[in-house]
């Protein structure tokens, strides 16, 4: 902890730099660096984080790929389902990082590390911002590896590089937004185990009642509305559109939901709203939990 304390001391405000925003950014980057170093020292965390999404890719592709029909594609077209599936797998991967973010913060709280941070001359919100930024870097690494695996099993994009990168940017934005939900959960429970359970229990219905793994038109009518207004679905649809993985002449929405008709804009709006709401709640919870 001596090195961490010394690093934080070097970030104390100086007469030349008293801007609250500059101080918050600097402190957030210091905390992010600390968390990234810890990830490098515990590589099994990253490795295990990669195994689950790879398993989902393989299982959904080869177990369900020949039995799920995509509207507008030939019956049993495994390649059509493969391209339909990958945006959903990518989105599920970035949102499931929520559980790790919550568990990490709960672990820091449990070990008293948050109290040590509180004693240092640093911005209050920097502890959480730094943690979420570090999680974003890990999520980006996971997406790179997952994209390589997807390419190896036959997934292809059909748009230019800029649009493909924009699709991945939307996925990372969603992952960053959900990491703030994880931060709030981590601050609200007593143990890392509870944070992991609390971070996953609501994610399963969120991701499965969506357009990620199966077409929405096969769901009951009331679930179609839920799925198409789901923030998760908006990012999945936006990524498919930017990757060129949509099926021509197939309606974007079966209910006329605005997010499905304008998925890119809706994805950005949903993610920004989630960040604004849950960052505010998480920082407020952090301040009350450490006072």
Q: How confident is the model at residue 249 (pLDDT cuts 50, 70, 90)?
A: low
Residue 238 contacts by C-beta under 8 Å, 6 or more apart in sequence? 167, 170, 263, 264, 266, 267
Express each pLDDT in 73-93 by its tens digit: 776 677 888 888 899 999 999
Kindly state whether residue 16 falls inside one of the protein's structural domains.
no
Strand partners, 162: none
Express each pLDDT in 50-71 by its tens digit: 787 888 888 888 877 667 777 7
Kindly state whether residue 3 falls inside one of the protein's structural domains.
no
pLDDT for the residue numbered 290: 52
pLDDT for the residue numbered 76: 65
How far apart (Å, rounded) are the C-alpha atoms in residues 147 and 168?
10
Kindly state whether residue 12 falls inside one of the protein's structural domains.
no
How far apart (Å, rounded) are the C-alpha atoms in residues 211 and 104?
30
pLDDT for the residue numbered 14: 47
Question: Which of 129, 109, 134, 126 lies closest to 192, judged by CA?
Answer: 109
Express each pLDDT in 179-226 by its tens digit: 999 889 888 887 878 887 777 888 889 999 999 998 898 899 999 999
| 14 phi, psi to nearest 5 deg | -115, 160
pLDDT for the residue numbered 66: 66
Question: Does 23 or 119 have the greater pLDDT score?
Answer: 23
Total tally of structural domains belonging to the chain: 1
Kindly state whether residue 263 falls inside one of the protein's structural domains.
yes
Radius of gyration of the chain (CA): 20
Q: Could you tell me the residue range of the domain that residue 275 belongs to? A: 21-289
Kindly state whether residue 14 falls inside one of the protein's structural domains.
no
DSSP 17: B
């Amino acid at each position: 902890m001596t090195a961490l304390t010394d690093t934080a001391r070097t970030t104390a405000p100086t007469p030349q730099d008293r801007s609250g925003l500059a101080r918050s950014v600097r402190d957030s980057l210091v905390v992010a660096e600390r968390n990234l170093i810890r990830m490098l020292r515990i590589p099994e965390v990253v490795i295990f984080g990669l195994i689950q999404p790879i398993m989902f890719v393989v299982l959904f592709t080869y177990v369900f790929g020949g039995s799920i029909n995509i509207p507008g594609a030939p019956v049993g077209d495994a390649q059509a389902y493969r391209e339909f599936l990958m945006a959903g797998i990518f989105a599920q991967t970035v949102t499931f990082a929520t559980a790790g973010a919550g568990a990490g913060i709960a672990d820091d709280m449990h070990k008293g590390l948050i109290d040590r941070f509180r004693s240092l001359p640093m911005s209050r919100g920097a502890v959480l911002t730094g943690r979420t930024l570090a999680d974003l870097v890990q999520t980006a690494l996971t997406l790179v590896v997952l994209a390589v695996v997807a390419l190896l099993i036959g997934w292809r994009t059909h748009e230019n590089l800029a649009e493909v990168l924009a699709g991945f940017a939307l996925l990372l934005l969603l992952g960053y937004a959900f990491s703030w939900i994880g931060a709030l959960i981590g601050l609200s429970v007593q143990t890392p185990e509870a944070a992991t359970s609390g971070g996953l229990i609501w994610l399963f219905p969120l991701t499965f009642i969506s357009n990620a793994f199966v077409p929405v038109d096969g769901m009951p009518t009331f679930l179609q509305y839920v799925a198409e207004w789901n923030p998760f679905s908006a990012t999945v649809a936006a990524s498919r559109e930017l990757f060129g993985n949509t099926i021509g002449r197939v309606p974007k929405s079966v209910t006329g939901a605005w997010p499905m008709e304008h998925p890119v804009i809706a994805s950005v709006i949903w993610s920004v709203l989630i960040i604004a709401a849950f960052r505010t709640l998480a920082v407020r919870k952090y301040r009350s939990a450490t006072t």
